[in-house]
A and B are shown apart, each in its own frame.
Chain A
Amino acid sequence: MELIGKELACTRGQREVFSGLDFRVAAGEALLLVGHNGAGKSTLLRLIAGLLRASAGTVSLDGGDPELSVPEQAHYLGHQDALKPSLTVTENLRFWASWLGDEAPALDAALEAVALAEIADLPAAYLSAGQRRRLSIARLVAIRRPVWLLDEPTSALDVASQGRLAELMAAHLASGGLILAATHGPLGLESARELRLGGRT
């Protein structure tokens, strides 16, 4: 399986964010998007997730399910956590699991993986920023999708949680998944390649 972007260009508000961008990420590989603020890291992730339209170029997933589009095979972890404060931790996770996937999700195991099992019945309104982040990471674990698009995944996470996230990412790569992550700091992944955006300033 290989995610391929060809000749990608994106224009936002009459400003060209990037153009002529090529990348390839094979199964088991992680690609880190680095660059200064405004270089287009988040834009590229949203573009692959189908939330922005490219002004030129294509994104395709070789060896993926031909019935499904790339966004339908991808998890997107954005800046916002997509949680409803009045629903409990489990209810939030169960909804996204049934919306994003077809198979029966392993909710308990996913909450265990992000160390939230003890507060599974607490409304999300009472969670701290780091706990909210971990709950949205649990979504990626509960439902299997081969492509992970992570935008600053470690923001608000403490050191222990960053370590757990690194283990989850390593397990995802080992099981044949692939990761694109926009980041400013190290994610704790060995053998991750870097793609520098915004060479021109």
Chain B
Amino acid sequence: MSALSALLVRDVRIALRVGGGAMMGVLFFLTVVTLMPFALGPDLALLRRLGPAILWIGALLASLLALDRLFSADHDDGSLDLLLMGRVPIELAVAVKGLAHWLTTGLPLVVAAPILGLFLNLEPKAIAAVVLTLLVGTPALTFIGLVGAGLTVALRRGGLLLPVLVLPLTVPVLIFGVAASNAAVVGPVPFGTPFTILCALTLMSLVIGPFAAGATLRHGLE
């Protein structure tokens, strides 16, 4: 088994075992979305109009939840030292860790979104649009988050600093994710316009995230 696939299998396995926290994000997502109708009142038209935005905010906050342990768990038990001593560039290792993190926290959010969409009285077309934008957009959230996780790796209470660092950077993803979801239902711009920008944001974060996070890890050790 090659080094990178071994790392992917290890991280996914740890997340799925007891205490791994793979389901935490989905539970948080469920809580946020089910609370919304209680706060907004039983206005079905309003829920339908706000639905895509609620789902996106919920997914954004849920994907930040497990991010602070992404590198700090490896830092605390000494694994990060050995990861840096492998024959694989740390940027690739970071990218694989990001992929494992997305598979265990981002992908479940995408899978849960259609059910939660029903809670918000979304029509099938809007649900399909939200799921598609989340599928494309959540990898961007994870890979932007890698940078924040790398910067806060050695801090004891980095979990508090992380959202402050990461949330501003995720604003473009949020804007175009919600814009594309709304465009699919109400227009006036075609769905493709904001959606292709969302795809571009994701592709950019997939490239920049691992390099930036790799650099922060190298410096963070000292």
Contact = CB atoms under 8 A, between A and B. Distances in A.
Interface of A: 12, 46, 49-53, 68, 71-72, 74, 76, 78-87, 91, 94-96, 98-100, 102
Contacts of B83: 99
Given A49-B85, A86-B17, A99-B83, A80 B10 contact: no
A26 B20 CA distance: 44
A76 B17 contact: no
A17 to B, nearest CB: 12
State the 8 A-B residue pairs at the shortest beta-carbon distance, nearest first. Answer: A80-B78, A98-B6, A86-B17, A82-B78, A82-B79, A95-B10, A99-B86, A71-B85
A1 B13 CA distance: 39
30 contacts: A12-B222, A49-B85, A50-B84, A51-B81, A51-B85, A52-B222, A53-B222, A68-B87, A71-B85, A72-B85, A72-B86, A78-B78, A80-B76, A80-B77, A80-B78, A81-B77, A82-B79, A82-B81, A84-B14, A84-B79, A85-B19, A86-B14, A86-B17, A87-B13, A91-B13, A94-B6, A95-B10, A99-B6, A99-B83, A100-B87
Contact of B10 (A12, A87, A100): A87
Given A51-B221, A84-B77, 11 more contacts: A50-B85, A53-B222, A72-B86, A81-B77, A82-B78, A82-B82, A87-B14, A87-B17, A98-B2, A100-B87, A102-B87
B35 interface: no
Interface string B79-106: 1011111111000000000000000000
Contacts of A85: 19
Contact of A83 (B7, B13, B18, B77): B77
Contacts of A68: 87
B3 interface: yes
B1 interface: yes
A3 to B, nearest CB: 15
Contacts of B17: 86-87
Tell me the dominant secondary structure on chain A's binding face.
Answer: loop
A76 B85 contact: yes
Nearest to A94: B6
Which of A53, A84, A91 neighbours the largest number of chain B CB atoms within 10 Å of its CB?
A84
A46 B10 CA distance: 25
A99 B79 CA distance: 11
Nearest to A86: B17
A129 B10 CA distance: 22
Q: How large is the interface on B (under 10, 10 to 19, 20 to 34, 35 or more residues)?
A: 20 to 34
A51 B217 CA distance: 10
Given A51-B221, A91-B13, A100 B79 contact: no
Nearest to B20: A86
A96 B85 contact: no
Contacts of B14: 84, 86-87
Contacts of B3: 98-99
Contact of A98 (B1, B20, B221): B1
A168 B41 CA distance: 70
Contacts of B86: 72, 99-100
A99 B7 contact: yes
A86 B85 contact: no
Contact of B85 (A52, A87, A100): A100
Contacts of B9: 95
A100 B81 CA distance: 12
A63 to B, nearest CB: 19
Given A86-B17, A86-B19, A99-B6, A76 B77 contact: no
B77 to A, nearest CB: 6
A134 B82 CA distance: 17
Given A98-B3, A100-B82, A52 B10 contact: no
